[in-house]
Amino acid sequence: MLSKKLTAADRYDTWDTDWDARLSSHVQASGLANIWEYVRRLPGESYVDLAERLGAGGGFGVAPVQIERLQVRDTPELELPASIRDSLARHLRYAFKVYGWRQGPYWESRAIGALASWTAMWSARADLGAHRHRLFELDAPENWTPTDDRDPVLLALCPDR
């Protein structure tokens, strides 16, 4: 029987009590102030891919949700719209990695799942409930997946201030 390769999120130390300090210190040791600066340098990568990258570089477990939690915490107020769009782009790129917008079976369910995770994570900093419905009203092109936080559909959904 083949054993499954452990992901960065599966490691035993992923949820140690000091996971946030450990992850923040690792990012700061690379010369960046915080996770928001780190994720900005890697647009278009899903949180899963970022977790694997950080886990490999740091030699410890990292769950995708940990990266997003720190992004929510570390984003300066003036950069909040860009960070919110960045996060949504990552969720949608992961949800539509096989089939794009309006493609494949259950595309609406994949979109709703991504939007629910996104709004729940950011609820402490922004009320994004209306955005969940508005994304469907924006009539994004078939097979669309956002490239990054400057994607025209995402800018229409959540414009800069």
Q: At what angle do helices 80-95 and 47-58 cross, to 10 degrees?
A: 100
Q: Are 158 and 84 in contact (CB under 8 A)?
A: yes
Tokens found for residue 14: 């992923």
Q: What is the pTM of this model?
A: 0.90
Clarify whether residues 109 and 53 are in a common domain: no
Q: Which two tokens stand for residue 155?
A: 């800018």
Tokens of 53: 């990258």
pLDDT of residue 9: 67
Q: Is 87 within the bounds of a domain?
A: yes
Write the pLDDT tens digit of every residue in 3-59.
566 676 677 678 888 999 999 999 999 999 999 999 999 998 999 999 999 999 888
Residue 27: give the domain boundaries. Answer: 13-74
Picking from 25, 55, 74, the residue at the C-terminal end of a domain is 74
- Helix segments in 75-126, DSSP class H: 80-95, 107-122
Rounded CA separation 139/98 (Å): 20
pLDDT in tens, 68-95: 999 999 999 999 999 999 999 999 999 9
95-149 per-position pLDDT tens digit: 999 999 999 989 999 999 999 999 999 999 999 988 888 999 998 999 999 999 9
Residue 90 lies inside a defined structural domain of this protein: yes
The verdict on 64 and 38 lying in the same domain is yes
Tell whether 17 and 68 lie within a shared domain: yes
Is residue 55 located within the same domain as residue 36?
yes
For tokens 């700061």, what's the residue?
28
User: What is the token pair recorded at 119?
Assistant: 């709004």
Indicate whether 53 and 106 sit together in one domain. Answer: no
Looking at the structure of the chain, the number of domains it has is 2
Among 50, 74, 98, residue at a domain's last position: 74
